[in-house]
Amino acid sequence: MVPLYMAFLIGGLLCLLGQLIMDLTKASITPGHILVGYISGGALLSGLGLYEPLVKIGGAGATIPLSGFGHLLTQGSLKAVEQKGLLGAFSGGVEAAAAGITAAVIFGYLAAVLFNPKG
């Protein structure tokens, strides 16, 4: 198991990177761009084999930032390709992330039913 301080450190650094991007680049970088950048970046690094080492030392510090979600998608895709070939390239990513995506959508719906935006 990864020591807690490493999770804190790696997670903190990944967020710090995001903050630097947001504050130091031109105004047009929105949170949406950050989310897309991180998930794609994580997926890409994962494909190059560079993200797994980060997970090994950072644990949740690497899997919880959205780049970790991208890593999950790519690994899912690669494993499914080993098992199913071409079909796996399409099904693998979604399958691996299914629990997370569904949870987000269902909780979103529930929150909309139960809560109102403050104001």
Partner 1 sequence: MNTPDPRRWKKIEVEEYENLVQQVKPKPPLFKHCVWAFIVGGLICLLAQLIMNYLLNQGIDKVAASSYTAVIMIFLGAFLTGIGIYDELGKRAGAGSIVPITGFANAIVASAMEFKREGYIFGVGARIFTVAGPTLLFGFVVAVLIGLIKVFFSS
Partner 2 sequence: MPAKKKRGAQTLVFDQPPVLTSWASIAGPKEGQGPWGQEFDWSMEDYLFGEESWEKAENKMLRETVKKALNKRNFDEADAEILMAGDLLNQLVSSNYAARELGIPFLGLYGACSTMAESLLLAAILVDGEYFERVIAAACSHHYTAERQFRFPIEQGIQKTPSSQWTATAAGAVLLEPVGTGPRITAVSIGKVIDMDQKDVSDMGSAMAPAAAHTIKTHFSDLNRPSDYYDLIVTGDLGKVGMAITQELFIKDGLQPEPNYSDCGVLLYDDFQEVYAGGSGCGCSACFLCGPLLKKMAAGEINKLLFVATGALMSPITSFQGESIPAIAHAVAIEN
Site for partner 1 in 34-63 (CB under 8 A): 34-36, 38-40, 43-44, 46-47, 58-61, 63
Rounded to a whole number of angstroms, the minimum distance from the CB of residue 3 to partner 1 is 9
- Report whether 95 contacts 102 (CB < 8 A): no
- Report whether 78 contacts 92 (CB < 8 A): yes
Cβ neighbours for 13, distance < 8 A, ≥ 6 positions apart: 61
Q: Contact positions toward partner 2, by CB under 8 A?
A: 22, 26-28, 31, 117-119
Candidates 20, 52, 56, 83: give the one binding partner 1 (CB under 8 A).
Answer: 20
First to last CA, the chain: 44
Rounded to a whole number of angstroms, the minimum distance from the CB of residue 16 to partner 2 is 14
> Which residues, numbered 87-106, are part of the site for partner 1 (CB under 8 A)?
88-90, 92-94, 97, 99-101, 103-105
φ, ψ dihedrals at 65, nearest 5°: -60, 155
